[in-house]
RNA sequence: GACUCGAUAGCUCAGCUGGUAGAGCAUAACACUUUUAAUGUUAGGGUCCUGGGUUCGAGCCCCAGUCGAGUCACCA
């Protein structure tokens, strides 16, 4: 491994610490009595509470000035300044702890624990006068140093998205605000969970590995189970399992589920993503609309200091319930001026041409309508809006509309021009469901690789009887993007999927050690012979002389090689 | 999948018709007892993403590739 200058220096510092009897990676825990945020917030009103404090965290910056030095410590609540005074740290003659250990052997990134008292510097900054400090963990790699000046300008920000996503741990340490996004994500999920639990609905877990990837139209990931010797799919949805639970007698079930879809990746798509799905018995989609808008209003209030208005880019979005409701056909009428009620496929195709919406031969009636909606209407719904009553062919798991057999009882919730939630009055007629699956099978035979499989066990469950049920799914990643004002899904996933990093293909010391070369020799051997192959292409005598010559020339403090040793590298 | 842009020191970035690489921060050394992006002086640090090509000479020009970002398409 090729170490940079700074990495070598830190390894040397590590050794010096040990030489001085300081353990850089102690085994025991460290007792923390206070946190940075608490001290900064409350010291001035109750200074008496902070005469003796103990904190632990990471060193973020260091400013030494002779016999005193300032260090910024970051714990999980924030940053606070530490004041190290030489004679305070080292009251006796021996000043090593200050001059060596503190001044030279602590680095940005190290974890330390400090004890001391809180005071205010002449510059007016609340700080900790350190009396004792210990190493908790030495950092061997330099962190990027991001500085903020008095006006709040950020200098030398760590901005390269590739590095930020691949090394999220670094991003979290040095970039303020990143952690807040993820804390908010957690609060969004907690708020939703609390809302459901208040209704006594039950949080459940259903299989991620599924023999039939059902519940949505998407290409799945496939894997193989060795003992059963069958293919298994990573779920693309959990809908069919949650409905089985409704069949089994649950009144309401929900799951925060990771789903997996083997499709393209971009700003709004990650191969694995989180969806919350909820199913409630004896309800329909009308009820579900009211349930959903109240839930979202509550979630937004919970994460937004009680406010229902969220700033997203240059738009203000108000989550105050009730949301606007409009049927898909009315939406199209509103934004295109055309009433498509009762139009057949030919008429729709002509309309698409008139409107400049691209079509192709394989598109059926439903797909054409969807295309018009997606092209002409979707982007207009900035404020939360329920789009209702979708064409039947688009929704094979959704119940036929009570007053129009060509439509289904479905809604999607559009916010900021994008779909955030999707819900149905669930289809519970097993005969109808079987027919819909069979239509999907025909699509599949035509080559649609996203058409749904027939799940016979699910049909069997429906045949035992499922109560009228409404279900709703909401994309947690996309909701989080909205509420944190992020335009990329990668900003709301800790570890977004990335292409694997290229591994250095160069030779590894281990390859040479495997030949029997002594460890002390390996780095030198590698300097002369970059690969095992190049070394072994030569004669042992030649290598033997060359290496011993190298040893002499560079005055290496290691024993000369014997020819027999060198010869053994070829065996 | 198509197009556009990017990859140079640990980090952020500069670089010239094509003539062996620069700055700030970080690092090391010295000075300095309350600093605020601390400061001052000095020093070290680079396979200029990879591989080919053109050229006397390539970080720069050409070709191919890798990775990333953006736009579009596809997908929900």
A368-413 confidence digits (pLDDT tens): 888 888 888 888 899 999 999 998 877 889 999 999 988 899 999 9
Q: Are A427 and A470 in contact (CB under 8 A)?
A: no
For the stretch A499-521, pLDDT in tens is 877 544 444 455 555 666 665 56
Our CA angle for A411, A489, A384, nearest 5°, is: 30
The mean predicted confidence, pLDDT, of chain A is 87
Specify the pTM.
Answer: 0.85
For residue A444, with 0-12 CB atoms within 10 Å meaning exposed, 13-18 middle and 19 or more buried, which class applies? middle
- By C1' distance from the Cα of A164, the closest nucleotide is B68
**Helix (H, G, I), strand (E, B), or coil: what is residue A209?**
strand
Confidence band for A445, pLDDT divided at 50, 70 and 90: confident
Write the DSSP string, A464-496.
H----EEEEEEEHHHHHHHHHT-S-GGGTSSS-
In angstroms, rounded to a whole number, what is the distance separating the alpha carbons of residues A233 and A212?
Answer: 7
More reliable by pLDDT, A219 or A251: A251
User: What's the pLDDT at A45?
Assistant: 92
Using the CB atoms, write b or e for A285-322: b if 16+ within 10 Å.
beebbebbbebbbbbbebbbeeeeebebeeeebebebe
Distances (CA, A) of A77 to A41, A46, A338: 11, 19, 56
pLDDT score at A533: 54
Judged against a pLDDT cut of 80, whether residue A444 lies above it is answered with no
Pick out the nucleotide with least CA–C1' distance to A275: B76
Rounded CA separation A369/A348 (Å): 7
**How many angstroms separate the CA atoms of A272 and A274, rounded?**
7
DSSP state, A28? S
Query: Tokens for A216?
Result: 């949505």
Q: Considering all nucleic acid strands, name the nucleotide whose C1' atom is nearest to the C-alpha of residue A12.
A: B28
Task: Please check the confidence at residue A358 and state whether its pLDDT lies above 80.
Answer: no
How do strand A126-137 and strand A272-281 relate by DSSP bridges? unpaired
Over pLDDT 70: what percentage of chain A?
A: 87
Distance A167 CA to B49 C1' (A): 18
pLDDT value, residue A148:
85
Nucleotide with minimal C1' distance from the CA of A148 is B37
Gap from A148 CA to B36 C1', in Å? 10
Helices (H), A25-150: 36-42, 86-89, 96
Look up the protein residue whose alpha carbon has the minimum distance to the C1' of B36.
A150
Return the pLDDT at A536.
61
List the single protein residue with the shortest CA to C1' distance from B73: A264
Question: Residue A119: beta bridge partners?
Answer: A127
Q: What is the pLDDT of residues A117-157, one digit of tens each?
A: 999 998 899 999 999 999 999 999 999 988 888 777 888 88
Task: Establish whether the linkage from the previous residue to A18 is cis, with ω within 30° of 0.
Answer: no
Report the interhelical angle of A178-198 vs A476-484 (nearest 10°): 120
A217 vs A385 pLDDT, higher one = A385
Residue nearest to nucleotide B37 (CA to C1'): A149
Tokens of A301: 């209030």
Residue A271 CA distance to nucleotide B64 C1' (Å)? 30
pLDDT for the residue A507: 45
Spatial distance from the CA of A351 to the C1' of B43 (Å):
75
Distance CA A301, CA A319 (A): 9
How many Å apart are A59 CA and B57 C1'?
48
Nearest to A419 by CA among A469, A381, A462, A364: A381
Average pLDDT, stretch A461-488?
94
Q: What whole-number percentage of chain A has pLDDT above 90? A: 59
As a rounded value in angstroms, the CA-to-C1' distance for A244 and B76 is 24
Asked if A279 and A242 touch (Cβ cutoff 8 Å), the reply is yes
pLDDT for position A521: 64
Name the nucleotide with the smallest C1'–CA separation from A370.
Answer: B76
Å from the A4 CA to the B16 C1'? 29
| Nearest nucleotide, CA A166 to C1' | B68
- Nearest-CA residue to the C1' of B68? A162
* Span CA (A109) to C1' (B16), Å: 38
Nucleotides of B under 7 A from a protein CB: 1, 9-13, 24-29, 31-39, 44-45, 47, 66-76
- CA pair distance A200, A219, nearest whole angstrom: 34
Instruction: Answer yes or no: are the C-beta atoms of A252 and A232 closer than 8 Å.
Output: no
pLDDT of A176 > 90? The answer is no
Residue nearest to nucleotide B26 (CA to C1'): A145
* A150 contacts: CB under 8 Å, gap ≥ 6: none
With cut-offs at 50, 70 and 90, classify the pLDDT of residue A80. Answer: very high
> What pLDDT is stored for residue A294 in this prediction?
97
């Amino acid at each position: 491994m090729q170490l940079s200058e700074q990495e070598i220096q830190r390894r040397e510092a590590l050794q010096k610490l040990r030489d001085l009897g300081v353990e850089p990676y102690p085994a025991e825990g460290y007792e923390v009595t206070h946190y940075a945020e608490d001290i900064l917030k409350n010291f001035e009103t109750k200074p008496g509470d902070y005469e003796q404090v103990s904190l632990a965290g990471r060193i973020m910056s260091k400013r030494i000035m002779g016999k005193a030095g300032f260090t910024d410590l970051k714990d999980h609540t924030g940053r606070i300044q530490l004041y190290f005074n030489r004679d305070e740290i080292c009251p006796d003659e021996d000043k090593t702890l200050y001059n060596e250990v503190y001044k030279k052997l602590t680095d940005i990134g190290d974890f330390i624990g400090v004890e001391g008292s809180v005071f205010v510097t002449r510059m007016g900054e609340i700080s900790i006068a350190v009396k004792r400090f210990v190493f908790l963990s030495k950092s061997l790699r330099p962190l990027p140093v991001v500085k903020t000046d008095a006006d709040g300008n950020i200098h030398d920000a760590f901005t390269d998205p590739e590095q930020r996503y691949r090394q999220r741990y670094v991003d979290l340490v040095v970039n303020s605000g990143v952690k807040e996004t993820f804390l908010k994500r957690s609060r969004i999920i907690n708020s939703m969970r609390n809302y459901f639990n208040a209704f006594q609905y039950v949080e459940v877990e259903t299989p991620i590995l599924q023999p039939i990837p059902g519940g949505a139209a998407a290409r799945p990931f496939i894997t193989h189970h060795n003992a059963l010797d069958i293919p298994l799919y990573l779920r693309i949805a959990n809908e069919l399992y949650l409905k089985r639970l409704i069949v089994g007698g649950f009144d309401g079930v929900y799951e925060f589920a990771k789903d997996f879809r083997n499709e393209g990746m971009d700003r709004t798509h990650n191969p694995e993503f989180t969806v919350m799905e909820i199913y409630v018995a004896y309800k329909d989609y009308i009820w579900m609309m009211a349930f959903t808008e109240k839930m979202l209003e509550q979630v937004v209030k919970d994460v937004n200091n009680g406010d229902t208005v969220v700033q997203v880019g240059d738009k203000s979005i108000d989550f105050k319930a009730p949301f606007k409701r409009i049927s898909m056909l009315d939406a199209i009428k509103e934004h295109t001026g055309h009433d498509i009620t009762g139009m057949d496929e030919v008429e729709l195709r002509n309309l698409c041409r008139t409107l400049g919406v691209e079509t192709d031969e394989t598109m059926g009636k439903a797909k054409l309508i969807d295309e018009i909606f997606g092209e002409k209407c979707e982007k207009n719904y900035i404020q939360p809006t329920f789009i209702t009553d979708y064409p039947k062919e688009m929704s094979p798991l959704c119940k036929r509309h009570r007053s129009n057999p060509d439509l289904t009882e479905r809604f999607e919730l559009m916010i900021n021009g994008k779909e955030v939630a999707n819900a149905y009055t669930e289809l519970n007629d097993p005969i109808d469901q079987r027919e819909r699956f069979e239509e999907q099978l025909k699509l599949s035979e035509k080559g649609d690789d996203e058409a749904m499989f027939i799940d016979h066990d699910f049909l069997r469950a429906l045949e035992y009887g499922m109560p009228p049920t409404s279900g709703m799914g909401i994309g947690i990643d996309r909701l989080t993007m909205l509420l944190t004002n992020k335009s990329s899904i990668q900003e709301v996933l800790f570890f977004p999927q990335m292409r694997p990093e290229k591994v250095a293909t160069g030779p590894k010391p281990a390859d040479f050690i495997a030949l029997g070369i002594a460890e002390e020799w390996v780095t030198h051997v590698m300097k002369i012979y970059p690969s095992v192959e190049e070394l072994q292409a030569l004669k042992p005598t030649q290598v033997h002389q060359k290496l011993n010559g190298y040893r002499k020339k560079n005055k290496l403090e290691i024993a000369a090689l014997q020819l027999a040793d060198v010869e053994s590298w070829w065996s």
